[in-house]
Structure 1
């Protein structure tokens, strides 16, 4: 939990409520200074050969690897994430830095087939200064992606970590910055006001992973300044369980999607549609899974967020839903919340309509696959969805029809390394991760080289 006091962030351990640290909030002057410093460094970093930029990222990845246990422990204390999960996020971040260290020097340009006596090129160039605003739920992995792609393509960066894990974010960025020239990676700490200041500053890109409300405010700011907005925002990811699936296996997939990291993953399962013929067996198995997950998950990030999650559950219960397990705030310190399974959910409930971002599995029983697909797609968000089915025609129909950036079939957290995502609707815009993120960080210049005429 983070408390704002006298221009200082006080971070509390969400397991114990003990103070983890206090971090000064950057002043408006410090924000402006960081942007100016990055701007001064931009030309030199853009001229640095791509292979040298890649070598710097390789060195940074090695430094993060050496500090991986430190970063994981700090992340666990600030956000309550289990240490093993936090270490997994650090390892993912290391892999991403290495990926962009390799991809940066081969980032694509094109030659065009024009006249024989001329040369025509399309050349990617860095956009300039990138403000990177990162979340608390996977702070190292997300920052590594956005910062790594920006640096690999010759941009400079001003990074603001989430106020809920400022020490983790700063430590990671410091490890990377130590292998870069001065000004290439600036770090500022603070709350939403600091992020808003950066979004309004003279930057060329604002890359943000976080809530839809903040993303919309950033998009408005970028519309005024002309900066490019790169946004991965909220999600309300659906899970569809078809009639031909083993209900025990489906329940295990649903529990993993809904309860891992206490439901605080960008692509967590937020709502479940199960075929009526499987409903009883699936729900029995899902309750058993939830009770097993009870001892395996950590707390929510803070008590304020727990209040948000429980508010969704209470509203659903008040609207006629029923909790088969969980659904109550436990006694004791910290921000713990039990894995919760809700039945009797209907589309207008906030737990089905909005992002809960907690260990809650709201289930809606549907008569057929077509209804499940229709209701899963009737949503303002567009991040991801999962379909569990043995019917190839249903799988094909699902990925064709669901209006989301990523569709996973029979694997709730599946995906190959290097894959990108392109959220839709209220979930944001632009590619995240993969080679396509390098395209987002660059602008293409068309060059036509023709010979000058000879002497008259």
Structure 2
């Protein structure tokens, strides 16, 4: 397939920097995109602010209707978006299409929620009205990741737009073609400048976030980048919402079927090649079932590697990062009983890897890995597992497999994370929201509560002239 070029999106740019994207499966060049220059960034912010003053006057139902039209258009182009995503990130087209359709669902969900998003009435004197109302924050910068580039962007953009904000979207520099195509589709339906797309690496993102005319920044990505966003926004006063990295623990209690536990662990550690924020990053298994559990987990990893169904990592830099953590663990006493080195041949493949003999000081247990690696530490009892799981600078989510309700309740109470899942690694009701803790982020990055993050509440006291001031 021919390489892709999008020169027109940088026609106002004054920078020469370019992004060249390679296919993680083959190493072939996907395409080159010129980064947005300073002049175009300035123009984008200015036009977004002008458009926002008009957009917020549109009724919420009208904004929702346009979002529904946009969702229909994206649904019609889901295959095209999936092909772009697969070429840029290495994800299978089937998975990428499912993610694109999840973005369609997110747009439709926020289209409906926007029309009923309101404040609350307050009890005051009988001759006056007291209530709160939500108003848009203004211009929103939305910074999205490469590992789910359509669904995450649609959710954040949809929530911002339906609440009356305008959006400047910077997709990840690892998936710019997907982001640009999504932006074009949205712009085909929405009024001019309500959603604009810019392209570039951290420098472009920093200049955009640091602009004093930006009112709110929503960032989904690494913890290091999220912290940099917060520091920049602290100077400008922009509201920040961050959904960042995690080092999610899986606790495997005694008295369970080791085969079922291993299936849950394998799904959590190896789904999407471990390139998920909520992937299982470290496993604490009770000594009573450790041996059969590890054997089943190793078998599951070996089967994945034999079938070749595991997608590659996004690029060579990510592959090197994952392997560095694996080699650090091995050098410090761990054993790779399956996998443990980059896959041979072209591309950025890394096999499903199971590490045993892991200890808390290893980087693979302390830091987010973002690859198909399952590091296992054997513990003597549930309390030891709970303490180890909680000893972490992240706070995204955690999973506990247990048949004891007392252990489940204890984990729910003591694990300082945004989401605790009992007996289901990827379970959860639709419309759920959570607030990550510590280095994992800030605020509600999804769900109905995201509408509140993208709005400001105004308190209103409405009384008639000459009315009673108090009861």
User: Contact conserved, 2:273 with 2:313, CA < 8 A, in 1?
Assistant: yes
3-state SS in 2 of match to 1:47: coil
The residue that corresponds to 2:326 in the other structure is 313
Q: Are positions 1:236 and 2:247 aligned together?
A: yes
**Alpha-carbon separation, structure 1, partners of 2:350 and 2:321:** 11
The residue that corresponds to 1:113 in the other structure is 123
**Alpha-carbon separation, structure 2, partners of 1:270 and 1:160:** 28
**Alpha-carbon separation, structure 2, partners of 1:100 and 1:176:** 15
User: Contact conserved, 1:34 with 1:186, CA < 8 A, in 2?
Assistant: yes
Matching residue within 137, 142, 151 for 1:141: 151
Offset of 1:330 from its aligned partner? 2.2
Offset of 1:425 from its aligned partner? 0.4
The residue that corresponds to 2:441 in the other structure is 428
**Alpha-carbon separation, structure 1, partners of 2:255 and 2:51:** 58
The residue that corresponds to 2:406 in the other structure is 393
**Alpha-carbon separation, structure 1, partners of 2:42 and 2:300:** 50
Matching residue within 196, 206, 209 for 1:199: 209
Q: Are positions 1:55 and 2:65 aligned together?
A: yes
- The answer for unaligned runs of 5 or more in structure 2 is 1-14
- The answer for unaligned runs of 5 or more in structure 1 is none
Q: Are positions 1:303 and 2:346 aligned together?
A: no
**Alpha-carbon separation, structure 2, partners of 1:6 and 1:222:** 27
User: Contact conserved, 2:323 with 2:341, CA < 8 A, in 1?
Assistant: yes
Matching residue within 247, 259, 263 for 1:248: 259
TM-score w.r.t. length of structure 2: 0.94
Q: Are positions 1:186 and 2:196 aligned together?
A: yes
The residue that corresponds to 2:379 in the other structure is 366
**Alpha-carbon separation, structure 2, partners of 1:293 and 1:257:** 13
Matching residue within 365, 381, 389 for 2:394: 381
Offset of 1:6 from its aligned partner? 4.8
Matching residue within 13, 21, 45 for 1:35: 45
**Alpha-carbon separation, structure 2, partners of 1:450 and 1:270:** 57
User: Contact conserved, 1:233 with 1:427, CA < 8 A, in 2?
Assistant: yes
**Alpha-carbon separation, structure 1, partners of 2:355 and 2:187:** 46
3-state SS in 2 of match to 1:120: strand
User: Contact conserved, 2:313 with 2:350, CA < 8 A, in 1?
Assistant: yes
TM-score w.r.t. length of structure 1: 0.97
User: Contact conserved, 2:179 with 2:197, CA < 8 A, in 1?
Assistant: no
Equivalenced residues, count: 450
- Residues 117-128 of structure 1 mapped to structure 2, 5 A cutoff: 117-128=127-138
- Residues 51-130 of structure 1 mapped to structure 2, 5 A cutoff: 51-130=61-140
Q: Are positions 1:223 and 2:261 aligned together?
A: no
Over aligned residue pairs, what C-alpha RMSD do you find? 1.0
User: Contact conserved, 1:244 with 1:391, CA < 8 A, in 2?
Assistant: no
3-state SS in 2 of match to 1:315: helix
3-state SS in 2 of match to 1:208: strand
Matching residue within 167, 175, 178 for 1:165: 175
Runs of 4+ in 1 over 4 A off after TM superposition: none
